[in-house]
Structure 1
Amino acid sequence: MKSSFYFLIAICFAFVSCNGNAQKKPKSEQFEIQKTDAEWKKELSAEEYYILRQAGTEKPFSSDLNNVKEAGTFVCAACKNPLFKTKHKFDSGTGWPSFDQPIEGGVFYSTDNKLGYSRNEVLCAKCGGHLGHVFNDGPPETTGKRYCMNGDAMNFIPAEK
């Protein structure tokens, strides 16, 4: 009886572990744009490659995009996929461009455990490039979310007048 109980627990643990991990890291095939690592290295700057393809982080307060206030769209630096609108940008004081919501369908979510705890990773929904993370400490009067993005992972396209 005791061994059956432990066997059942082991089966349940294995099922939950396998099922949960399958959803945490996306497979590259999930994304519309498929390129080899060599192709990405050739197309992106060293900073863009480090962030978008190696899930790096730029230094805080280093991005020119922190100061953008004019109307427009922030797009993925790798594939030009629209990600965020200026109207959803706010100064979080963290040193990275921050938004309270993405453009619908622009981002994909994954789980990042690199620091020893789980964080909600934000990826480009079209190419799978790492953009940053989303936290629950954003403006309470809007969504309560803070999309903390790497400026080197994005380009800004001003709105047409």
Structure 2
Amino acid sequence: MSEPRDYPTDPQHLTDADWRERLSAAEFRVLRQAGTEAPFVGEYTDTTTEGVYRCRACGAELFRSDAKFASSCGWPSFFTPLAGEAVIERRDDSLGMARTEILCAHCHSHLGHVFAGEGYPTPTDLRYCINSISLTLDEA
């Protein structure tokens, strides 16, 4: 489990300098610069521990462990966020393809992407592919 953090109360008003003080260089690259961690190395890729996954930048609740599934894609995968307001979707045309980026609704940090129609046996037919470094887990 990750160490507790001093989460900002109004993170949308933090500057890049503020975020650099609060996050490691790797966390800043993913969360604030929309980077991607390498596949199959993240802390939560294969975790089956019950609990609530939170945004590593601000602590907002994002996903429950009962919505996590083994997709074998190299990153933690969920079929639905905790609540409709937990994440923001934004079109991402980087890398020469159209994708849907997922951001934390509270602090607008990059989490990963959501994909549809891949044939996974989930109730929503969606795969929220999330960088482990974007998350912390509060164990049940």
The answer as to 2:50 corresponding to 1:41 is no
Query: What displacement does 1:113 show?
Result: 0.8
TM-aligned CA distance change 1:147 to 1:75, over 3 Å: same
Tell me how far apart the structure 2 counterparts of residues 47 and 156 of structure 1 sit (CA, whole Å): 18
Tell me how far apart the structure 1 counterparts of residues 98 and 33 of structure 2 sit (CA, whole Å): 18
* Contact persistence 2:52–2:139 (CA under 8 A): yes
Tell me how far apart the structure 2 counterparts of residues 141 and 55 of structure 1 sit (CA, whole Å): 26
Query: What displacement does 1:47 show?
Result: 1.1
CA deviation vs aligned residue, 1:54-102 (integer Å, no higher than 9, x gap) = 0000000011211221210110000000000000000111110000000
- Aligned partner of 1:147 in structure 2 is 128
Map 1:96-107 to 2 at 5 A: 96-104=75-83, 105-107=85-87
User: Normalization by structure 2: what TM-score?
Assistant: 0.87
- Aligned partner of 1:158 in structure 2 is 139
Q: Which amino acid aligns with 2:93?
A: N
- Aligned partner of 1:90 in structure 2 is 69
* Contact persistence 1:109–1:121 (CA under 8 A): yes
Q: Which amino acid aligns with 1:81?
A: A
Q: CA RMSD in A?
A: 1.4
Tell me how far apart the structure 2 counterparts of residues 138 and 107 of structure 1 sit (CA, whole Å): 23
Q: Which amino acid aligns with 2:62?
A: L
TM-aligned CA distance change 1:141 to 1:65, over 3 Å: closer
The answer as to 2:89 corresponding to 1:121 is no
* Contact persistence 2:11–2:58 (CA under 8 A): no
Q: Which amino acid aligns with 1:152?
A: I
SS in 1 for 2:45: helix
Tell me how far apart the structure 2 counterparts of residues 103 and 47 of structure 1 sit (CA, whole Å): 25
Runs of 4+ in structure 1 off by over 3 angstroms are: none
Structure 1: which 5+ runs fail to align?
1-30
Q: What is the number of residues matched between the two proteins?
A: 129
* Contact persistence 1:138–1:146 (CA under 8 A): no
Query: What displacement does 1:141 show?
Result: 4.2
Structure 2: which 5+ runs fail to align?
1-9
Query: Looking at CA atoms only, which structure, 1 or 2, has the larger radius of gyration?
Result: 1
SS in 2 for 1:60: coil
Greater fraction strand = 2
- State percent identity of aligned pairs: 43
